[in-house]
Amino acid sequence: MEKSILIVITTLMLGLCNHVFAEDTTSPGKIKTLTAITGVNDGEIKLKFTAPGDDNYSAADTLNGTYFIQYSTKSNAVWNYKNAQVKKIIKNVNYGETNKLIVAMLGDTQFGFPTGVNPEPALSNAVFTMMDISNLTHDFFIVAGDLIQPNVNFWPYHHKYIEGMATRPQYFIAGNAERYLTLENYAKETGFPIGGYTVEKRGIRFIFLNTAETSGKTAHICHVGDEQMKWLRKELASNTNITTFILFHAPMLNSTYGSHKENEFYMKESTEMRHLFKKYPNIVFIGNGHMHHQYTQSPDSNGRDSFAIESNVFFVSLPRPPQSFFVEIYNDEIIVRPRNSQKKVWESVAAYGSNHTVSTTLTPKTLDNQELTISDLTPGQTYYLKVWTMDESSNISKQSIVAVAAAKKLPPTAPDKPKLPFIENATADININIVDLTPEFSAIFNDANIFDTAKFYEIEVEKITNTVIDEFDNNDFSAYSLCALTGISESNGAFSATSVTADPFFWKNLSPPINGSAFNTVIVRMKTNFKNPFLTIYWENEDGGFDVTRKATSSNVRIEGEWTTYFVDLKDHKNWMGKIIKKLRIDPFDLNNKSVEVDYIKILSANGNGIRVWSSGKKSMTPLAIGKRTKDISYDGIKLEPGNLYNWRMKFWDSNGLESPWCDWNTFYYGNKTL
């Protein structure tokens, strides 16, 4: 029978920035590079192709673009994306545009400004901005310092609402606020270096410089410092051709809004930087934050606003959220497009933005190769596949070329170890029939060969045996050494005593000694007159006596005034397993003037070392598919003894006759007598 399934990968495909909210009637581009190869796992085929982009562009934004994949066992199938049936989601595919690099730039996000206590209004502005930016075409975004008010309690807001809402790579610099918190704290919280760093994107170099020191009456004159200036000279000299953007927190003196000397909001090294930058005509853009100047505000008293051009360098003062600048870099121009994220509108470039005509070293965008794995196909079967894309306006592309491949067929392998179903609040993965107390077992079948089935099973059950250390029924304590205990007595088959220090304990020689590998769970039934979280045991073996290397604690929580059985599991303790246990010490608690009663001390047999009470043998069953659970299988062995612990395990044989490993031993308690 022909099989055809569709994979739908939901995407949000955006057009050019200034057309985001216009009606879209143009279909995405056709995928022309589709290939198919046999997958890695059973029943898989892997598809490889290049995302074509929305609106027939060769590499336009396909932020979360939608792919339809139909496949069929017949070459003459009726190809139509509507025939498909399975969905999948891929995000951030081939974002950006082929002929330009788009960088979203923000000034001071500064959670906590101005009060230093309340994250508002910065919080609301950041949410508006990040929600908006995440749906707009851009290659990455920058925040130019003062990420938070100088209070470490505001870092979680930055992590959640800036880093957490970003859909593109993000780059930060430290402003004066981060400097007040120390650059070490900034580096720890953001993952960016204390000193300057460089990022290259499509032939454009971006240099980021941190605020290393501040000065001035209000500590708003920012310094990058000698170390970063030294690094900057070396970095600029390393490549004198690549188009370079430089970003730091404060504006250069006498450049953009508010940068006059009297205002004391400028970069300390401005004069030194101007001399340096004149040596490198490949520097075309300098951006800053710090000023909290929105592009809709009037110029300062010196006529300076958000933009300036000096010696062919474009100076840009970045606004705070909910405003931002989208900087578009072309081969021959830089355009700054203002964005109001609260209103979700693009402002006029002529009114609020700016541009700079300059040659750049921008390189064309290359398409990202995509890979998708199609699963749950018939192993060994040949399939024919085609792909469509659909944008957010339900415009569908033309169908791709056909690709052909066979689904992976693995050689027969033994089934996996059976998994046990989880039963809440149960001590083991079994049911107890409440009518006749018959245990019922079940397990889940798994196999690497996805179309295999389980045909046979076997179950084994063993009674856990125990070595009795003491049941305290003879009023004889001569075998024990006791410490910090008084009022020692025995009544009704229980040992009782009271502590006289905060370190009471008692111990005895084990005769004969215990093989730790054969018996590896110590159980103590006792009660106390207070709550305490654990019981501790020590032991002596052939390597030494009581110390912290031969110590373990129970996992039980003691119930005040009630008898409780404490289990100390030692199967993973290297100084118990494989050792001969010669002495056993019980530390019931670590408090003074508390009472304890002990009913018994026993050591239980290790898994597989008990008395076998039932083996079902190899039994046939209704074929069981992968991931499915067997019906409950009733115990059919000798009569179980109430009040005892039992182990059980299970294994399968598949349709090829291959045998799985046993599942791990699992313990259950049977009956209604007190253990």
Separation CA 543–CA 390 (nearest Å): 71
- pLDDT 10s digits, 607-626: 999 999 999 999 999 999 99
Give the pair of three-digit tokens for residue 558: 């003691």
Does the residue 424 lie in any domain?
no
221 and 91 housed in the same domain: no
Residue-wise over 598-625: b if at least 16 C-beta within 10 A, else e? bbbbbbbbbbebbeebbebeeeebeebe
Mean of the per-residue pLDDT values for the chain? Answer: 87
Give the pLDDT confidence score for residue 116 in this predicted structure: 87
Residue-wise over 583-596: b if at least 16 C-beta within 10 A, else e? bbbbbbbeeeebbb
Which of 6-20, 532-546, 606-620: highest mean pLDDT?
A: 606-620
- pLDDT 10s digits, 76-101: 999 999 998 766 666 555 566 778 99
Does the residue 415 lie in any domain?
no
Does the residue 418 lie in any domain?
no
> Based on the structure, what is the number of domains in the chain?
4
The average pLDDT across 395-410 equals: 92
Q: For residue 373, is pLDDT > 70?
A: yes
CATH number at residue 243: 3.60.21.10
350 and 228 housed in the same domain: yes
Separation CA 282–CA 673 (nearest Å): 87
156 and 224 housed in the same domain: yes
187 and 277 housed in the same domain: yes
Does the residue 363 lie in any domain?
no
Give the pLDDT confidence score for residue 55 in this predicted structure: 53
146 and 163 housed in the same domain: yes
Mark which of 571, 590, 605 sits at the end of a domain: 605
> 254 lies in which domain range?
101-357
Q: Which of 200-209, 292-301, 410-419, 525-534 has the lowest mean pLDDT?
A: 525-534
CATH number at residue 28: 2.60.40.10
Q: Distance of CA 46 to CAs 75, 335, 409, 484, Å?
A: 18, 41, 13, 71
- Length of the chain in terms of residues written: 675
Mark which of 577, 605, 633 sits at the end of a domain: 605
Q: What is the pTM of this model?
A: 0.54
223 and 279 housed in the same domain: yes
Picking from 11, 5, 13, 137, the residue whose alpha carbon sits closest to that of residue 66 is 11
137 and 265 housed in the same domain: yes
Give the pLDDT confidence score for residue 533 in this predicted structure: 64
324 and 187 housed in the same domain: yes
- pLDDT 10s digits, 245-266: 999 999 999 999 999 999 999 9
239 and 323 housed in the same domain: yes
Please check whether residue 190 is in contact with residue 182, taking contact to mean a CB–CB distance below 8 angstroms: no
CATH number at residue 514: 2.60.120.260
Mark which of 562, 585, 605 sits at the end of a domain: 605
- pLDDT 10s digits, 471-528: 988 877 888 999 999 999 888 889 999 999 999 999 999 999 999 999 999 999 988 8
One-letter amino acid at 209 equals: L
Please check whether residue 472 is in contact with residue 478, taking contact to mean a CB–CB distance below 8 angstroms: no
Give the pLDDT confidence score for residue 675 in this predicted structure: 38
pLDDT band, very low/low/confident/very high, at 65 (cuts 50, 70, 90): low
Does the residue 421 lie in any domain?
no
488 and 440 housed in the same domain: no
pLDDT band, very low/low/confident/very high, at 319 (cuts 50, 70, 90): very high
Give the pLDDT confidence score for residue 369 in this predicted structure: 76
pLDDT band, very low/low/confident/very high, at 531 (cuts 50, 70, 90): confident
Separation CA 64–CA 267 (nearest Å): 41
Give the pLDDT confidence score for residue 30 in this predicted structure: 82
637 and 549 housed in the same domain: no
353 and 376 housed in the same domain: no
The average pLDDT across 108-121 equals: 91
